[in-house]
A and B are shown apart, each in its own frame.
Chain A
């Protein structure tokens, strides 16, 4: 040990005070960049706190659920239904006369041989009088969903309402390709709602 230190050990020493220099801006910059990177990373891979999302899935692995033997996967469609449709048509599918929403369960429009008219209703909405299951519904307006739901979502929800065993529906499933085709055919329509009379001109299936 050098003699200088033993000297300081026996004399009162001043504790050096830190300087008051500021933090360089680039450190704040680095903090900001890393915070953004971390947020993007979390958004891309973190599953947003869903307890059922594990890596490598980035959403609940609903797209990889096995089909029921011979049946279709209705879970994804049910999610879309609960989110987009149940507000007016009710989770039970019985409709809500208070907002002039006709029932879905037992509707001949829903279990039609083909989905051509249904896809159009979801894409652009519907207004004016319509007869469902023998009853007239008049004053309601259904909003267009073409900018809200993807082809996959529309296919899933239509498959769900056409095949829901709770409503004893046994129609055919709807594929995203069918939705895409109709979307392409009607792309010039804008956001103009359909009327029942217009729809009845269109064949139910190709």
Chain B
């Protein structure tokens, strides 16, 4: 098989313009909407009567709307955008059929929209992280497979036959999601299994989505952007291989919570897997430290800052997961805000921040233009960092306080929830800051796209009204 000749980076970048606009533009929009729902859910703890008279805005619907918009609205399309760009860039070949990928991306966003309406109108499936109803899930599944197929076609047509570690991570992620999602939808919604097996499957799905899919995509970006931005080689190919294998081997077993009403072997296996997940995360920490040590590049609130913060958040969230798997700890932290804090750190602190970093690098190259408001890039970073920490730290501490109180039968449920109020108020500030940061991102992305479109129109217009060259005039 002879490889086609490499395409130059600008050509590759421009080949992905339309699909990346749609993927990132939609993702930024859903992210802001998700933050709004997150803020609403948070405010409800200050006054339980807040917006309580509308069934659409009751806590039990706003909360899943927040979670699903965050993961399905933002994380997956943003991850797909970064993954597609990485496959094209590293394969030195333009994106295959960008128009069709754009159609798939549109379809995905339609699926998210339909699913959001479903959740708000009470059609949630009732399984955590899988609330999007069946009709939306089918659209999302088809859209993902469609995009993944063209991503694979892009990969097949690559000019550079050697695989960069980032490509392993992206390819595995493209394979992972359709499998876990189809299993979950088929066995929970289409041909539902009976009884507690449903919960087992839903936990398996959530563990694979948050514990494997997000790290796979995030680490793909990590392996590419950290060396790129520091202008140093990645340390090293074998470390990346080691992290890849241990991540997929152990991460996939982490989903079952420690007290689940399932036979003891299942939560016990998940607990052991959570400790083993320390191995890939330590490896990632080693890769990060070795790769950037001695690098002179200051990150200055740019993409490198985002990726670095994201990587450390991933390591920390994995350590928390391992600690919370200890039986002595899990009896306190189970069923508390601690788990929510861990998820927030993983999704916001790690995945979203890494994706922002990648987007701030990719989108200017795709459009060939600078960010319209460069200051916002830095502002967004600090909003994201402080917001994540304000969301994470109070909820993690509040979760421990809450869990310790649940273990004391003398304390009434009302007093337990009263004890967490101060922490919830602090976390509302975090939600607010994240919303602000995400708004900055949205404004920047949309302004960039708008500016690009305006420039395109201007060029077309200039072409249309320009006097014909003599050579073009047919005699």
Contact = CB atoms under 8 A, between A and B. Distances in A.
Interface of A: 1-2, 5-6, 9-10, 12-13, 15-24, 27, 30-31, 34-35, 37-39, 41-42, 45-55, 57-58
Interface of B: 8-10, 13, 89-90, 160, 162, 164-165, 223-224, 227-228, 231-240, 242, 246, 259, 261-265, 267-269, 271-273, 275-276, 278-279, 282-283, 286, 290, 302, 327, 364-365, 368, 370-371, 374, 377
B234 A46 contact: no
Interface of A is mostly: loop
Contact of A18 (B236, B273, B368, B371): B236
B246 A31 contact: yes
Contact of B234 (A16, A45, A53, A57): A16
A13 B236 CA distance: 20
Interface of B is mostly: helix
A31 B279 contact: yes
Contacts of A49: 263, 265
B239 A23 contact: yes
Contact of A16 (B227, B263, B268): B227
A185 B278 CA distance: 54
A56 B377 CA distance: 51
Given A34-B278, A37-B275, A38-B275, A46 B238 contact: no
Contacts of A39: 272
Contact of A48 (B10, B236, B265): B265
A57 B265 CA distance: 11
Contact of B279 (A1, A18, A24, A30): A30
B242 A23 contact: yes
B276 A38 contact: yes
A69 to B, nearest CB: 30
Nearest to B276: A34
Contacts of A37: 272, 275
A53 B266 CA distance: 10
A55 B236 CA distance: 42
B319 to A, nearest CB: 13
A21 B238 contact: yes
B227 A46 contact: no
Contact of B235 (A21, A30, A52): A21
17 contacts: A10-B368, A15-B160, A15-B224, A17-B233, A17-B234, A19-B235, A19-B237, A21-B236, A21-B238, A22-B236, A30-B279, A38-B275, A38-B276, A42-B269, A46-B268, A47-B268, A53-B263
Contact of A15 (B89, B261, B278, B302): B89
A54 B276 contact: no
A38 B246 CA distance: 14
A12 B9 contact: yes
Given A18-B233, A20-B236, A52 B263 contact: yes
Nearest to B368: A9
Contacts of B282: 27, 30
Given A16-B233, A23-B239, A27-B242, 17 more contacts: A2-B302, A6-B364, A6-B370, A15-B90, A18-B233, A19-B233, A21-B239, A23-B242, A27-B279, A30-B282, A31-B246, A39-B272, A41-B271, A51-B263, A52-B263, A54-B264, A55-B268
A1 B361 CA distance: 10
